[in-house]
Chains A and B, each alone.
Chain A
């Protein structure tokens, strides 16, 4: 797989990992019907970590991060996000969801709302932010992803890369403590992949806790502090990026890396 080289080298100086636990997953199991999709997942994510999750398709990596904001329900084990355990209690679920931002492969912007309305909707209706303040916050983040001039257009009038950056801005408007990226660049042209990755690098440089499911190994080398390799619903190997790419231990990891690099 070709990976896009990032022009700017990520500044790792500000990417500090604290001792504070952001996400704690203990003995988590999930089934789709009879299919055992996630098996005994144990994972602790510290505040400020940038984790890239890689693996062949069908290995359960998307399902794993979708469990973290309960877009998917797990059947066994515990998931504790920022001190709140995800159970069937809807109040906890909504609390976690408003703390955790998510960026999807297909952007999932709301096509009937303008870019600005996309960004202000959740702050106004979930956080009860006054409209004016919400709009100021939204413009701040739209400037950050470098498309403030598109604020009054509709998503359908933007390119894929611009839409994905809006989706990132929309998540940021909720001031999340954790960001989840579910293959954010898989539906984009090479040119656009770069602009989205650069936005993500900037975000990492500001110390955001990030979990990214991605095939962009350049991004993993540049930004991540930990790479997790999954296969058949389990975590096969995790390591710092340098060790992970240069010195993989598991046979399955070696095979995967030899095919994509």
Chain B
């Protein structure tokens, strides 16, 4: 029998992997040409992709950008090639309409170009959401963004005042930006530690934005959004006053009721009164002039922003021990999920008026917003419930054992984790809601798809299909793809295990 004992004298050094495993060659061999069958499939796939792409490219690259009608396009690419080339003239001619619908653009007698307002609202949206969405943007850079947007707007609006204010804002923004870029991070941190003055939190602007945006879009008296914001302030103070006396639940209920009374009965009177004393306002724009991507984005953003908190409340309600709360939440969620969105939209557009007291004018876009938001919230609640169910019981127990009450435990322990788990589902719901906004074309609102029908009704563009749908699809894709990428970024950022 041979000797079984073995003692290693020295440890082996690390060696580089063989050339066939690394670099492009290694990658291609592993992933594309791994065996005869796979090689054949790779080649066939490449041929197929080439066939499709070359067809698409020759269709897309057609010199028809400046044509004024479909027949002119046909002349440009020749009658014999038929429909094998795109007629981009329609986009050139109508892209503004696809973006803004019939928002006043100054083309009619006695109107002025108001499209800067939705553009400003859109840009401010980014300023408002950056501090919420990204944590690597510093406080100062956010104020720089805000100054830049507002400054450029005043410059655009012009007039002596506009130019002065615009230049001042841009200068202020540049100064803050310069300071932020040149300041040493650790030195700055030490200064702040020592009690140096900081710029106000940009989330303040994020909180104001929901009141500014509708005012910019619909115009009218500035006192109306201020009145709406006052409702929250009043509710807050009622809660602060009542909570120590009557308990937080009673305080909350009374605060909500008081705020509702303020909004429904008093806000309009307050706004009219203030407007008669100090008139500030923008030229009003009717809801029926809204259209195109502006409308889609408005509905989409509102539904997305409101459905998340409502969804959280519904999900918590569904898990509640309080029987009535639970029954209400389950009933709401199951009812909304059991009804198609189109049905809800029809209810919003026609039926709701029947139940309203005669003479009330309840804006159609507002009605649609409420319906789409409720619809999204019901789905959101179920997505979040999934996240809640995935949390181990131990997390609830640990939070309880430390003496955290229900709301603190939810806010600090449970929700951050449940939401993180549900990010893919939440973003899927967001994307779905955003795309569902095109359904409003069915009740006569002119979203991009509704407009594409209107454009085709024009004799010049009768028969243009792919170009319009392609353009609309491209814009939707940009928004949806960004949301999807953002969710992946967020998941990476929030991953705390095995870093």
Binding site for B on A (CB under 8 A): 69, 71, 90, 94-95, 97-98, 100-102, 104, 106, 108-112, 121-122, 125-126, 154-157, 170-171, 174
Contact = CB atoms under 8 A, between A and B. Distances in A.
Given A94-B403, A126-B403, 15 more contacts: A71-B397, A71-B400, A90-B405, A97-B403, A102-B398, A104-B397, A110-B395, A110-B413, A112-B416, A112-B496, A121-B413, A122-B402, A156-B498, A157-B497, A157-B499
B366 interface: no
Given A71-B397, A112-B496, A121 B403 contact: no
Nearest to B499: A157
A108 B403 contact: no
B394 A106 contact: yes
Contacts of B401: 69, 71, 97, 100-102, 104, 171
B288 interface: no
A55 B142 CA distance: 61
Given A94-B403, A94-B405, A108 B496 contact: no
B497 A98 contact: no
A108 B499 contact: no
A220 to B, nearest CB: 23
Contacts of A157: 497-499
A175 B401 CA distance: 13
Contact of B398 (A90, A104, A156): A104
Given A121-B412, A125-B412, A111 B403 contact: no
Contacts of A155: 496
Nearest to A111: B496
A160 to B, nearest CB: 14
Leading 7 A-B pairs by shortest Cβ distance: A156-B497, A98-B403, A108-B398, A108-B394, A122-B402, A154-B496, A97-B403
A76 to B, nearest CB: 21
Contacts of B392: 106, 108
A104 B499 contact: no
A111 B417 contact: yes
A100 B394 CA distance: 17
Contacts of A97: 400-403
B494 interface: yes
A100 B402 CA distance: 8
B497 A108 contact: no
Contacts of A112: 416-417, 420, 494, 496
Nearest to A95: B403
B402 A154 contact: no
A171 B402 CA distance: 7
A203 B400 CA distance: 23
B397 A108 contact: yes
Contacts of A110: 395, 398, 413, 417
21 contacts: A71-B400, A71-B401, A90-B405, A98-B403, A101-B401, A104-B397, A104-B401, A108-B392, A108-B397, A110-B417, A112-B416, A112-B496, A121-B404, A122-B404, A125-B404, A125-B408, A126-B404, A154-B497, A154-B499, A155-B496, A156-B498
Name, among B403, B405, B413, the residue most crowded by chain A CB atoms within 10 Å (CB to CB).
B403
Contacts of B404: 121-122, 125-126
Contacts of B398: 102, 104, 108-110
A101 B398 CA distance: 10
Nearest to A170: B402
Contacts of A69: 400-401
A126 B401 CA distance: 12
A111 B412 CA distance: 12
Nearest to B414: A110
B396 to A, nearest CB: 9
Interface in B187-206: none
Contacts of B402: 97-98, 121-122, 126, 170-171, 174
A108 to B, nearest CB: 4
A156 B403 contact: no
Interface in B416-436: 416-417, 420
Contacts of B394: 104, 106, 108
Contacts of B405: 90, 94
A182 B408 CA distance: 24
A156 B496 contact: yes
Interface in B370-424: 392, 394-395, 397-398, 400-405, 408, 412-413, 416-417, 420
